[in-house]
Structure 1
Amino acid sequence: MRLGLLLMAAIVLGLSAGGSLAQPRTSDPTPGMAPRLPSTPVIGDELPGLGGPPGGPSNDNAPHAPDLLVAVFRPGTPDATSSAFAESLNLTIERQYELSGLRLRVFLMRIPAGGNVDTMLPRAAADGRALWVQPDFSYQSLDDSSGAVSKQYALTRIRAESLPLAARGQGITVALIDSGVARTHESLNHDKVTLIDLVDAKETPPPETHGTAIASIIAGSGKVKGLAPAANLIAIRAFTEADPKTGASTSDSFHVSQGISSALDRKARIINMSIGGPNDPLVRMATEQAVLTGVIVIAAAGNAGPDAPPVYPAAQRGVIAVTATDDKDRLFSGANQGDYIAVAAPGVAVLAAKPGREPGASAYDYFTGTSMATGYVTGLAAILLSADPKLTSVDIRRIMETSATDLGAPKKDPKFGWGRIDAAAAFSASPTVGAAN
C-alpha cells in the first residue's frame, strides 16, 4: 500500500517534470510495463503545483475537435473557479466529471463561433487557474471489414477447448470501453452485462456494431463463444458509431478518460480498450491511475500498418498491447509494429455478434483488426484471474508472455511481441493451477 501511494505521488507530483518509472528490458518478458515514447509538448505542462500533464508531453498535432478543449483542475477546485475560468475566456462548459482516485476535475468546454482550439489553447494555458489544458483528441475503434473464413477458428487456434469446463471467468468484472453493446443479443448473457452510456446518458444505450462484437468475443455464450462467458461485463459506451457496417466508431479525450474513471469507480479488475489515439495527457493519466491501482489494462496495438507510429493507450507503460494474427498464425497485414507489442491473438476474419437490422434482432459477421485480438486476450485474463484472484497485473502479463506460442523472430519481436496467446498453456502456467497439477 505504501509503495502504491509513493508511485501515485510520483505521477501527480513529478512525472511532468521529467520523472518516469523504470524502463523494462526488452530481452526478457516485460514485468507489466510498456515503454513510453516521445512526442511534442502540450500547452500547459509548465504549470506549478501538481505540475501539469502526467508522464511527459503529448502530440497537439494529432486529430482533435476544432471547437472543444479540455481543462483539468486540481482536486477540490471550487465550481466558482472553473466557471470563472470559462466565463473569462467566453467558453461554455459542456460536461464535467471527477477522475477516479486522483479526484482531478475534468471539464469539456466549447469555444465560441469564430474561435478555434489552436488560438484558444495559449490563452487558456496562460490563465493559470487550470492545472493544464489540451485539445479534445480523437479516438477510433480499431477494426476493419473482412471476408469470412470457415468456423470460429480463433478458439481452436488458442487452444481454448483444452481449458477446464469450469474456466469461464466467473466472479471477474471486465470493463469494456467502446461503442454501445446489444445487451439482449442472443449470444450475450444479458444478466451478466451492465450498460453505461457516457455519450447520451441513456438508460439503454443504442446497440452498436463494434461494442457488441468485442463483448461477444470476451463473454459470448451463444452461437458466438466468448472466452470468458461467466465474467461480469460493464459495457461503457464512450464511442459513437460512425459506420454500422464495419463498426467504425469515434470518441475523444474527455469520454475515453471518463470511461476509464467509470471502470475504476465500479471496481473493474480488467479494462478492455479496443481503441486507438494519440499520446494524450488526460487519457494517459487515467490509464496510469488504473495501472497503479492494479487493474489489468489491455489495448489494441493499431491497424495503421507496419510503418505507422505507436498507438495509445496500447503503447503506454503498463498496458498489454495486442496485435492480430489469422487462422494460420500469420500477422495481420494492417497491424502496427513496435517494441510495445506484448502478445498476439486471432483477429483476422473473426466471427462475432452484431445487432440485427430490426430492434432487438441478433446478427453475426466477420471482423478483422487488433480490436478483435484484444478481446481474446481480455477473456484469457478473466479466466486466469477467476482461477486465482490473487494474481496481479504483472503476474497475468508474465503468464501470457511466457506461455505464448513464439512466432516470427525468436523470443520477443516488434511484430508478434512474445507470440500468440495459448489459453491452455497460460492456465496451466498460473501458480495455483500449476501447483495443483
Structure 2
Amino acid sequence: MMRRPRPLLAAAMLLALPAAAAAQLVPPLGGVVGRTLSGVAQTLSPVEATLSDARSLAREQLRRVRDLARRYPDRIEIDRAGDAVRAGELVVVDPDDTVVAAAQAQGFRLIAREDLGDLGIGYARFRTPQGQSVDRALPRLRALAPGREVSADPLHFPGGALGTTTLAMAAPPAAPGGARIGLIDGGVRAGTPGLIRQQAFAAGAPQPNDHAAAIASLLTGGGGIRASAPGAALLVADVYGSDPAGGNAVAIARALAWLTREQVPVAVVSLVGPANPLLARVVAAARRRGTIVVAAVGNDGPAAPPAYPASYPQALAVTGVDARGRPLIEAGRATKLDYAAPGADLLALDRNGRARSVRGTSFAAPFVAARLAAHLPDLDRALAALDREAQRGGRATGRGILCADCRTPPR
C-alpha cells in the first residue's frame, strides 16, 4: 500500500514540482486546472507567478518548522509521522486518579490537569520519563491508560502568508455591536476594530502577530480594508504568545472552551495541524453547545494528508480562490470541503496597521465566518442561507464560493 506523504514532506513535494508539471499538480481540481493550463501558451507568466507564490508558502512553512525544532530542541521535536509536537509531552483525555497514579509510578511527571468547564472534557499533560522521546514513551503511557485517548501535543501553523506592503484608502470601521466572532490565532494590537476582549493561552500572550492581525482586519476592517463583518465584536484567543511551541492542540482546545463559555457562536481557526483526539472532542462538544469552528484547509497542496481542525466533522472546512474564482493551486485538503472564499489577490492589515498583500486559505476562512455570523443564531437556517448565497465553482470549492466581493484588491 502506498503511504501518504508526511505533513512536513507535503510542502517539500510542492517545492519539487517544476512549472511544466503543473498539469499533474492538483488532480482533485480537475477542469479548473485544465482550463487554467489550456491558456499557458498565451499567458504563461501568471501560471509561473502562481506556482512561485505556492512554492514560497511551502518553503516558508518547511523553513519555520525545521528552524523551530533546531533552535528549541527542549520545546519541540518532530515525531515519527513528521509532525512538530511539544517535546517530551503527552496528553491523556479524561484521565481518572488511577491513570494519573499509574503514570506517575512509571516515571511520567504530571504537568497539568484540567477540566474544560461545561464541555465535560478533561485532560492531563505528562512529561515523558527522563531521556525518552514522544514516540518511545507514547505506547508506554497508552498501556498505563487503557480505554483512554493518549497522544502527543501537535503544533498548528498558520495557513497563509503576508507579502508586500501596499497603500490602502482610509475608511473608518463600523462600531462594535453586531455579531460576536471568536478568533483563535496570535494576538492583535489594542485598538483593533471590534476588539472587546483578548485572552492568553500561551506564555507571553497576548502578543500581536501579523497573521492574526490580517484575519481580524478581514473581519472588522480598518486601515482601508473592507470589513466582511462590519460592526462585529471580536474575542481573540492568543495561542502563540512568545512560546516557540505555541499553537499546540491543548492551547487551541482551551481557547475554544473559553469561546464556548463566552457564548461566541463562530470561531475562526486559520491554523493547520494533524488530527488530535483532545481537540476533536472539544470541537464536537463546542458545536453541541452552540460554537462552530470555521477552519482553513491550509496550503500544503492536495496531496498532503487532510488538515485539522478543518477535517473534524463538526467544523466548516474552507479553501481559497483567487480573483477569478480559481482554486488556489497550493490549497490543502480536508476529509470534506464546505466552502471557498477569496484567498488571494487581496489586502489585509499587519500588526502595525499597514495594508499588505496576502495569500493562502487562512484568509478565506474569516469571509465564510462573517457570512455565517450574519445569518445566525439558527445554525441550520444559517447554513441553508450560505448554500443559497454560494456561487458554484466546481468540486474544488465545496458547496460554492462565498463573499466573492468582500476582498480589498491590491492597488
- The equivalent residue for 2:209 is 208
- The equivalent residue for 2:81 is 61
> How far 1:373 sits from its partner (Å)?
0.4
Of 222-231 and 317-326, the range deviating more from structure 2 = 222-231
Of 317-326 and 90-99, the range deviating more from structure 2 = 90-99
Q: Which letter maps to 1:407?
A: G
- The equivalent residue for 1:136 is 153
- The equivalent residue for 2:271 is 275
Q: Is the 8 A contact 1:85 1:129 kept in 2?
A: no
| 1:86-125 matches, cutoff 5 A | 86-125=103-142
> How far 1:198 sits from its partner (Å)?
0.6
Q: Say if 2:388 is the partner of 1:407.
A: no
Describe the shift of the 1:279–1:60 C-alpha distance in structure 2 as closer, same or farther (beyond 3 A): farther
Describe the shift of the 1:280–1:254 C-alpha distance in structure 2 as closer, same or farther (beyond 3 A): same
Q: Say if 2:182 is the partner of 1:172.
A: no
2:337 & 2:165 partners in 1: Cα distance?
26
Which segments of structure 1 move beyond 6 Å, counting only runs of 4 or more? 148-152
Residues 393-418 of structure 1, C-alpha deviation per residue, up to 9 Å, x if partnerless? x322222123211113xxxx1x1112
- The equivalent residue for 1:193 is 196
Any stretches of 5+ residues in structure 1 without a counterpart? 1-58, 153-164, 244-248, 357-361, 426-437
Query: Aligned to 1:268, what secondary structure does the other structure show?
Result: coil
Describe the shift of the 1:422–1:139 C-alpha distance in structure 2 as closer, same or farther (beyond 3 A): closer
Among residues 328, 331, 338, which one is paired with 1:335 in the alignment? 331
Q: Say if 2:302 is the partner of 1:299.
A: no
Query: How many residues end up aligned between the 2 structures?
Result: 324
Of 288-297 and 86-95, the range deviating more from structure 2 = 86-95
What's the RMSD between the two structures over aligned residues? 3.0
- The equivalent residue for 1:382 is 373
- The equivalent residue for 2:221 is 220
Query: Aligned to 1:341, what secondary structure does the other structure show?
Result: coil
Among residues 285, 307, 311, which one is paired with 1:311 in the alignment? 307
Q: Is the 8 A contact 2:168 2:224 kept in 1?
A: no
Any stretches of 5+ residues in structure 2 without a counterpart? 1-78, 407-411
- The equivalent residue for 1:418 is 399
Q: Which letter maps to 1:68?
A: E
> How far 1:317 sits from its partner (Å)?
0.9
Residues 136-184 of structure 1, C-alpha deviation per residue, up to 9 Å, x if partnerless? 12211111344578969xxxxxxxxxxxx99x98442211111111133
Query: Aligned to 1:318, what secondary structure does the other structure show?
Result: coil
Identity over aligned residues, as a percent? 26
Q: Is the 8 A contact 1:380 1:423 kept in 2?
A: no
Q: Is the 8 A contact 1:377 1:421 kept in 2?
A: yes
Describe the shift of the 1:339–1:86 C-alpha distance in structure 2 as closer, same or farther (beyond 3 A): closer
Query: Aligned to 1:261, what secondary structure does the other structure show?
Result: helix
Q: Say if 2:277 is the partner of 1:284.
A: no
TM-score of the superposition, structure 1-length normalised?
A: 0.67
Q: Which letter maps to 2:273?
A: G
Describe the shift of the 1:272–1:219 C-alpha distance in structure 2 as closer, same or farther (beyond 3 A): same
Q: Say if 2:361 is the partner of 1:373.
A: no
> How far 1:236 sits from its partner (Å)?
0.3
- The equivalent residue for 2:239 is 238
> How far 1:368 sits from its partner (Å)?
0.9
Q: Which letter maps to 1:115?
A: Q
Q: Is the 8 A contact 2:203 2:240 kept in 1?
A: no
Among residues 255, 258, 280, which one is paired with 1:259 in the alignment? 255
Query: Aligned to 1:199, what secondary structure does the other structure show?
Result: coil
> How far 1:86 sits from its partner (Å)?
4.8
Q: Is the 8 A contact 2:342 2:404 kept in 1?
A: no
TM-score of the superposition, structure 2-length normalised?
A: 0.71
- The equivalent residue for 2:71 is none
1:299 & 1:316 partners in 2: Cα distance?
10
Q: Is the 8 A contact 1:175 1:233 kept in 2?
A: yes
Q: Is the 8 A contact 1:72 1:107 kept in 2?
A: yes
Q: Say if 2:70 is the partner of 1:70.
A: no
> How far 1:255 sits from its partner (Å)?
1.0
Query: Aligned to 2:155, what secondary structure does the other structure show?
Result: strand
> How far 1:423 sits from its partner (Å)?
7.6
1:384 & 1:212 partners in 2: Cα distance?
24
1:313 & 1:170 partners in 2: Cα distance?
29
2:277 & 2:148 partners in 1: Cα distance?
12
Query: Aligned to 2:340, what secondary structure does the other structure show?
Result: strand
Greater helix fraction, Structure 1 or Structure 2: 2
1:420 & 1:227 partners in 2: Cα distance?
14
- The equivalent residue for 2:383 is 397
Residues 35-64 of structure 1, C-alpha deviation per residue, up to 9 Å, x if partnerless? xxxxxxxxxxxxxxxxxxxxxxxx973512
Query: Aligned to 1:101, what secondary structure does the other structure show?
Result: helix
Residues 293-334 of structure 1, C-alpha deviation per residue, up to 9 Å, x if partnerless? 232221101211122221111122122111111112121111
1:207 & 1:337 partners in 2: Cα distance?
28
- The equivalent residue for 2:17 is none
Q: Which letter maps to 1:293?
A: R
Residues 232-252 of structure 1, C-alpha deviation per residue, up to 9 Å, x if partnerless? 211001135799xxxxx9521
Q: Is the 8 A contact 1:96 1:107 kept in 2?
A: yes
1:300 & 1:200 partners in 2: Cα distance?
25
